[in-house]
Chains A and B, each alone.
Chain A
Amino acid sequence: MADLKDKLELIGMSLSFFVPELVLIVGIILLIGIGLRKKQYPPLLTFLSLLLFSFSFLCYVFTWRIYVTPQKIFNGFLRSDDFSAFLKMLFDVAGILTVLMTWRKQKEQRYLPEYYALLFAIVLGAHLLVMSMNLIMVFISLELISISAYVLTGFSFSKKGAEGSMKYFLFGSVASAVMLYGFSMLYGLTGTLDFSSAEFIDHLLGKNSTLFFIAALMALAGFLYKIAAAPLHLWAPDVYEAAPMPIVAFFSVVPKLAGIGVLTKFILAINIFGQSAFDWQFIISLVSILSLTVGNFSALLQKNPKRLMAYSSIAQSGFLLAGVAAFLPQGVHFMLFYATVYMFVNFLVFVYLQYFESYGFSSLESFSGAGRTHVWPSILILIGFVSLTGLPPTAGFTAKFFVFSSLWEAYHLSGKNILLWLLIFGLLNTVVSLFYYLRIPYYTFIKEAESGTKTNFLAFENLLGFVLVLLVFVLFFYPGLLMGWINKINFVL
Chain B
Amino acid sequence: MQEILLSLLLFTPLLAALVSLFFPATAIQLFRYTTLVANIAQAFFLILLLGSYQNSAGLQFVEHQPWITMDLGSWGTLKAEYFIGIDGLSMPLVVLSVFIMLIATISSWTILKNVKGYFILLLILNTAIIGSFVALDFLLFYLFFEFMLLPMFFLIALWGGPRKEYASIKFFLYTLLGSILILIVMIGLNLSVHDPSISGQLVHSFNIIHMSSPINFISFSILDPHNAWQIGLYNARQWAFLLLFFGFAIKLPMVPFHTWLPDAHVEAPTPISVILAALLLKVGGYGLARIAFPIFPDATIYFGGFIGVMGVISIIYGGLNALSSKDLKRLIAYSSISHMGFVLLGFASLTAEGVVGSIYQMFSHGIISAMLFLLAGVLYDRTNNRMIANYSGLYSKMPWYAVMIIVAFFASMGLPGFSGFIAEIMVFLGAFKSNSVQGPLHESIAITATLGLVLAAAYYLWTLQRMFFGPFNLKGDITSDQMFDLNKREFIMLIPLAAAALFFGIYPQPMIAIIDPFAKHFAEFVIGAGKSLTLNP
Contacts and interface: CB of A to CB of B under 8 A. Distances in A.
Contacts of A330: 72-75
A408 interface: yes
Given A393-B147, A405-B190, A423 B74 contact: no
A446 B158 contact: yes
A484 B169 CA distance: 38
Interface in B168-183: 168-169, 172-173, 176-177, 180-181, 183
A67 interface: no
Contact of A431 (B146, B158, B180, B190): B180
B187 interface: yes
B68 A409 contact: no
B173 A434 contact: yes
B222 A428 contact: no
A70 interface: no
A392 B68 CA distance: 14
Given A408-B187, A412-B191, A438-B172, A393 B74 contact: no
A479 B70 CA distance: 8
Contact of B187 (A392, A404, A420, A442): A404
B188 interface: yes
Contacts of A423: 184
Contact of B176 (A401, A431, A484, A487): A431
Contacts of B147: 392-393
SS class, residues of chain B in contact with chain A: helix
Most buried by B among A431, A438, A445, A483: A431
A457 interface: no
A301 to B, nearest CB: 16
B171 to A, nearest CB: 12
B169 A435 contact: yes
A478 interface: yes
Nearest to B221: A412
Q: Tell which of A386, A392, A438, A487 has the most Cβ of chain B within 10 Å.
A: A392
B68 A479 contact: yes
Given A392-B147, A412-B191, A420-B231, A442 B183 contact: no
Contact of A442 (B142, B157, B176): B157
Nearest to B188: A408
Given A412-B221, A445-B154, A405 B191 contact: yes
B143 A393 contact: yes
Interface string A443-460: 001100000000000000
Contacts of B102: none
Nearest to B204: A405
A480 interface: yes
B165 A386 contact: no
Contacts of B47: none
B201 to A, nearest CB: 15
A256 to B, nearest CB: 25
Contacts of B48: none
Nearest to A407: B187
A446 B159 CA distance: 9
A409 B74 contact: no
Interface residues on B, range: 35 or more
Contacts of A431: 173, 176-177, 180
Contacts of B71: 484, 487
A109 interface: no
A302 interface: no
A405 B222 CA distance: 12
Given A330-B73, A446-B158, A478 B68 contact: yes
B257 to A, nearest CB: 14
Nearest to A439: B169
B221 A329 contact: no
A391 interface: yes
A430 interface: yes
A442 B183 CA distance: 25
A487 B67 CA distance: 19
A140 interface: no
A427 interface: yes
Contacts of A477: 67-68
B149 interface: yes
Contacts of A392: 142-143, 146-147
B389 interface: no
Contacts of A391: 146, 149-150, 176
B384 interface: no
Contacts of B221: 412
Contacts of A404: 183-184, 187
Nearest to A434: B176
A484 B70 contact: yes
Interface string B71-83: 1111100000000
Contacts of A434: 172-173, 176
B172 to A, nearest CB: 7
The winner among B74, B158, B168, B188 for most chain A CB atoms within 10 A is B188
Pick from A333, A391, A484 the residue with the most CB of B within 10 Å.
Answer: A391
B173 A435 contact: yes
A480 B146 contact: no
Nearest to B144: A392
Interface in B229-264: 229, 231
B41 to A, nearest CB: 24
Interface in A457-488: 477-480, 483-484, 487
A412 B231 CA distance: 11
A331 to B, nearest CB: 11
B69 interface: yes
Given A391-B146, A392-B143, A478-B68, A329 B73 contact: yes
A24 B71 CA distance: 35
Interface string A211-250: 0000000000000000000000000000000000000000
Contacts of B172: 434, 438
Contact of A409 (B75, B149, B157, B173): B75
Contacts of A397: 146
Interface in A367-398: 386, 391-393, 397
Nearest 3 interchain pairs by C-beta: A412-B222, A392-B143, A480-B70
Interface of A: 329-330, 333, 386, 391-393, 397, 401, 404-405, 408-409, 411-412, 420, 423, 427-428, 430-431, 434-435, 438, 442, 445-446, 477-480, 483-484, 487
Given A408-B188, A480-B69, 11 more contacts: A329-B74, A333-B72, A392-B143, A401-B183, A404-B184, A409-B191, A442-B157, A446-B165, A480-B68, A484-B71, A487-B73
5 contacts: A391-B149, A392-B146, A393-B147, A408-B188, A446-B168
